[in-house]
């Protein structure tokens, strides 16, 4: 009986241990499943962001938050998505100045060294494309071609239709600018069919614009204009204002080719104002040059000179493309004013810039004008030499144009061959994608086995959760004024920029109240900084309780506060400010310090024609100073 009792106890213990083990395993499986689902959610969100960036976003205010979010979503072991992130960072570098472009090239240089092996690879191919793109912006033409050719060859080796399309679109645009139209058409037509086949409507539209520009340069401005206007309407319908403006510029050039100068000038003026509004001085100056060039064609030299004088300092010589046309236009004006020495000096600068860009059309124009300047100065021998140079260049251009027209006709009839080649490429890429998906599926299964076999991930998950909580807490602290608990200066201004943008886009009012404590220094000097801090905290509390949930109250300086009132007009804002001043004046300040009384002065400003936050803040500050000057404890509206 004793042995039986012991045996029963052992069996019961084994049974209980089994139950406990099963329960623990079930809990672990449930936790791991939740963790895995959370990871999948982040990966799916990261994929959505990466795809949006790859499809093309032109507004920095739109794409910068996506990059910030992406940094929080990517896991340390997520190598493939990190590579896509690096590729997108390369393409979205600032490029408004030559210095910024050089920095972008330096970033690509660094990443190319990091991902040099294995070869060929998707990331290495895209980084060479990216570097080639920036190099052609800074007129490093030969080096840009080297990068682009390398990338296109690599893209064919890895059978990646998107990268092939990108490479041939960029290279085709370069060929078009340089006057190599047959190569441009072959590249651009190939890119167009690939973009349409892989359903990339944004880039298909962009590439079609380059095709239209090529037809214009090729001499078929009528066909180009037809395509350009259709594309412009697409961009306008899709609210892509930057793309629509770029295409409007191309339409202006087509109109100029068709000698519709007034219409071209109207387009260029509109684009110039767009550049000014978007703080792009180089584009604004470039448009001024285009307007001046049209004026010269109409014989309006004084108007052309006025524009050039206004903008000549805004285009540095290292921006060789616009600089070449700036100096050429200045030379035209100097020739008209019978200043041959000055004109020849400018023509030499223009020629150097055109040669740097390998712009044969520009070189031909410079040689003809050089001959005319020498002739007007009765320097017949020099005029003859320049004219000979022009004839040689022009003959080459004529022969090239004839070859290009033959090649263009061949390209039009050869599109079916290009289409068949692209279809074979797409099928190969699809088969490769399926193989990669199978490999990824196997990797996922391996990860699941590893996760389920290691209970330590429970602790890692807990640690990660606590770290996330801390991160959110730190972020909140970084946006909060430590003393009052209100929004700090940075957070307040961030909300202000957002409210301003919403008010402008939705045509709604926006008002600001700027106020500070009267004679606050005297409070600190007489009662001490502790009492001063209590005054500030009470001011914050009284103000916050009076405002709506949608309003923002922030402390932006020592005793300075700012209230953002969306959807509030000037009269209502003044009434709110008056109630605030009265509430603060009537408060029993003896609760803070015996014998203490405290008032505030306020300035009110309301959105009128401002496009940025700074002038609206300045109006509020000006009104606040007026309130101080009027005896304090009052409201002044600007």
pLDDT of residue 440: 57
Residue 422 has pLDDT above 60, yes or no: no
pLDDT of residue 458: 64
CATH superfamily ID and name for 221-307: Tetratricopeptide repeat domain (1.25.40.10)
Residue 402 has pLDDT above 70, yes or no: no
Write the burial class of residue 408 (CB in 10 Å: 0-12 exposed, 13-18 middle, 19+ buried).
Answer: buried
Whole-model pTM: value is: 0.45
pLDDT category, 341, cuts 50, 70, 90? confident
pLDDT average, residue stretch 567-571: 95
**Residues contacting residue 503 through CB under 8 Å, at least 6 positions apart:** 509, 510, 566, 567, 607
pLDDT category, 585, cuts 50, 70, 90? very high
Count CB-CB contacts under 10 A for residue 46: 21
Write the burial class of residue 116 (CB in 10 Å: 0-12 exposed, 13-18 middle, 19+ buried).
Answer: exposed
pLDDT category, 477, cuts 50, 70, 90? low
Closest C-alpha among 325, 329, 331, 396 to residue 370: 331
**Residues contacting residue 16 through CB under 8 Å, at least 6 positions apart:** none
d(CA 523, CA 526): 5
Residue bearing the bigger pLDDT, 372 or 359: 372
Percent of the chain beyond pLDDT 70? Answer: 81
Residue 475 has pLDDT above 80, yes or no: no
Q: At what angle do helices 380-413 and 181-197 cross, to 10 degrees?
A: 30
Write the burial class of residue 52 (CB in 10 Å: 0-12 exposed, 13-18 middle, 19+ buried).
Answer: middle
**Residues contacting residue 555 through CB under 8 Å, at least 6 positions apart:** 481, 483, 484, 486, 487, 488, 489, 492, 536, 540, 561, 562
pLDDT of residue 431: 57
pLDDT tens across 51-100, in order? 888 877 767 778 888 888 888 888 888 888 889 899 999 999 988 888 99
Helix, strand or coil for residue 634?
A: coil
Residue 565 has pLDDT above 80, yes or no: yes
**Residues contacting residue 103 through CB under 8 Å, at least 6 positions apart:** 93, 94
pLDDT of residue 113: 94
Range in 172-186, 536-550, 610-624 with the lowest mean pLDDT: 172-186
Give the angle 398-399-404 at the CA atoms, nearest 5°. Answer: 95
Domain extents in the chain: 18-52+59-72, 221-307, 489-637
pLDDT tens across 121-132, in order? 999 999 999 999
d(CA 362, CA 383): 18
Cα end-to-end span (Å), the chain: 101
pLDDT of residue 413: 41
Cβ 364 vs Cβ 397: under 8 Å: yes
pLDDT average, residue stretch 1-27: 49
Helix, strand or coil for residue 564?
A: strand
Residue 368 has pLDDT above 60, yes or no: yes
Residue bearing the bigger pLDDT, 355 or 128: 128
pLDDT of residue 446: 67
pLDDT of residue 637: 93
Token pair recorded at residue 41: 């959610």
Average of per-residue pLDDT values in the chain:
82
pLDDT tens across 225-275, in order? 887 888 888 888 888 888 888 888 989 888 988 889 999 899 999 999 998
pLDDT of residue 412: 45
Residue 525 has pLDDT above 70, yes or no: yes
pLDDT category, 362, cuts 50, 70, 90? confident
From the options 3.30.460.80, 3.30.70.270, 2.40.50.140, 3.90.1410.10, give the CATH code of 489-637.
Answer: 3.30.70.270
Q: Which residue has the tokens 């106890």?
A: 9
pLDDT category, 152, cuts 50, 70, 90? very high
pLDDT of residue 443: 60
d(CA 547, CA 570): 16
**Residues contacting residue 575 through CB under 8 Å, at least 6 positions apart:** none
Residue bearing the bigger pLDDT, 121 or 206: 121
Residue 330 has pLDDT above 50, yes or no: yes
pLDDT category, 410, cuts 50, 70, 90? very low
Write the burial class of residue 287 (CB in 10 Å: 0-12 exposed, 13-18 middle, 19+ buried).
Answer: buried
Cβ 271 vs Cβ 252: under 8 Å: yes
pLDDT of residue 424: 52
pLDDT of residue 463: 62
pLDDT of residue 310: 84
Range in 104-108, 482-486, 493-497, 539-543 with the lowest mean pLDDT: 482-486
Closest C-alpha among 303, 363, 361 to residue 333: 303
Residue bearing the bigger pLDDT, 350 or 601: 601
Residue 504 has pLDDT above 50, yes or no: yes
Range in 110-114, 173-177, 298-302 with the lowest mean pLDDT: 173-177
Residue 29 has pLDDT above 60, yes or no: no
3-class DSSP string for 573-609: HHHHHHHHHHHHHHCCHHHCCCCCCCCEEEEEEECCC
Q: Which residue has the tokens 């990871």?
A: 39
Residue 418 has pLDDT above 90, yes or no: no
pLDDT average, residue stretch 516-523: 92
pLDDT of residue 479: 81
Residue 326 has pLDDT above 90, yes or no: no
Helix, strand or coil for residue 183?
A: helix
d(CA 496, CA 618): 13
pLDDT category, 143, cuts 50, 70, 90? very high
pLDDT of residue 4: 43
Cβ 323 vs Cβ 342: under 8 Å: no
pLDDT tens across 430-441, in order? 655 665 566 656
Q: Which residue has the tokens 């100073």?
A: 625
Q: How far is CA 510 from CA 515, 567, 573, 609, 610, in A?
A: 17, 5, 9, 11, 11
pLDDT of residue 409: 45
Helix, strand or coil for residue 176?
A: helix
Range in 277-291, 388-402, 615-629 with the lowest mean pLDDT: 388-402
| Helices of type H across 312-414 | 320-336, 340-356, 360-376, 380-413
- Alpha carbon 147 to chain centroid distance? 23
């Amino acid at each position: 009986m004793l042995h039986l009792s012991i045996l029963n106890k052992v069996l019961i213990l084994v049974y209980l241990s089994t139950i406990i083990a099963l329960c623990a395993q079930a809990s672990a499986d449930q936790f791991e499943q939740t963790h895995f689902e959370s990871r999948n959610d982040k990966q799916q969100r990261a994929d959505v962001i990466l795809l949006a960036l790859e499809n093309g976003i032109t507004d920095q205010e739109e794409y910068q938050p996506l990059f910030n979010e992406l940094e929080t979503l990517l896991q340390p072991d997520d190598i493939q998505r990190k590579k896509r992130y690096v590729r997108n960072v390369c393409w979205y570098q600032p490029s408004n100045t030559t210095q910024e472009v050089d920095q972008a090239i330096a970033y690509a240089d660094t990443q190319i060294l990091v991902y040099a092996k294995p070869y060929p690879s998707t990331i290495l191919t895209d980084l060479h494309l990216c570097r080639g793109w920036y190099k052609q912006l800074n007129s490093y033409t030969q080096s840009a071609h080297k990068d682009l050719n390398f990338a296109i060859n690599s893209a064919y080796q890895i059978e990646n239709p998107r990268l092939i399309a990108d490479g041939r679109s960029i290279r085709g645009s370069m060929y078009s600018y340089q006057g190599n139209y047959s190569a441009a058409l072959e590249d651009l037509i190939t890119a167009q069919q690939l973009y349409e086949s892989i359903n990339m409507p944004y880039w298909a539209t962009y590439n079609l614009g380059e095709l239209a520009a090529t037809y214009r340069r090729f001499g078929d401005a009528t066909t180009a204009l037809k395509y350009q206007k259709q594309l412009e309407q697409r961009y306008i319908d899709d609210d892509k204002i930057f793309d629509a403006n770029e295409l409007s510029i191309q339409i202006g050039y087509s109109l100029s080719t068709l000698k519709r100068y007034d219409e071209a000038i109207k387009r260029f003026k509109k684009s110039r104002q767009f550049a000014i509004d978007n703080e792009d001085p180089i584009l604004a100056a470039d448009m001024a040059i285009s307007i001046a060039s049209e004026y010269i064609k109409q014989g309006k030299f004084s108007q052309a000179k006025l524009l050039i004088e206004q903008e000549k300092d805004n285009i540095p010589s290292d921006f060789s493309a616009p600089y070449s046309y700036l100096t050429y236009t200045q030379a035209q004006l100097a020739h008209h004013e019978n200043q041959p020495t000055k004109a020849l000096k400018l023509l030499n600068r223009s020629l150097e810039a055109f040669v740097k860009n390998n712009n044969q059309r520009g070189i031909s124009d410079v040689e003809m004008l050089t001959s005319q300047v020498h002739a007007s100065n009765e320097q017949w021998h020099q005029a003859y030499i320049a004219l000979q140079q022009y004839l040689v260049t022009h003959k080459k251009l004529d022969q090239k144009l004839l070859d290009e027209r033959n090649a263009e006709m061949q390209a039009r009839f050869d599109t079916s061959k290009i289409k068949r080649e692209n279809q074979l490429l797409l099928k190969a890429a699809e088969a490769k994608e399926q193989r990669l998906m199978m490999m990824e599926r196997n990797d996922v299964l391996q990860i699941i086995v590893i996760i389920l076999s290691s209970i330590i991930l429970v602790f890692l998950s807990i640690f990660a959760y606590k770290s996330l909580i801390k991160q959110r807490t730190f972020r909140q602290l970084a946006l909060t004024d430590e003393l009052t608990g209100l929004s700090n200066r940075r957070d307040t201004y961030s909300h202000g920029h957002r409210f301003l943008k919403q008010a402008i886009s939705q045509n709604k009012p926006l008002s600001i109240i700027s106020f500070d404590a009267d004679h606050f220094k005297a409070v600190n000097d007489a009662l001490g900084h502790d009492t001063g801090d209590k005054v500030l905290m009470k001011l914050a509390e009284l103000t916050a309780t009076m405002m709506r949930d949608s309003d923002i109250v922030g402390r932006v300086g020592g005793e300075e506060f700012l209230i953002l009132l969306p959807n509030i007009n000037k009269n209502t804002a003044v009434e709110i400010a008056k109630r605030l001043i009265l509430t603060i004046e009537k408060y029993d300040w003896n609760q803070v310090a015996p014998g203490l009384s405290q008032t505030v002065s306020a300035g009110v400003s309301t959105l009128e024609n401002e496009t940025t936050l700074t002038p609206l803040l300045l109006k509020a500050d000006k009104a606040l100073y007026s309130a101080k000057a009027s005896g304090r404890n009052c409201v002044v509206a600007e």
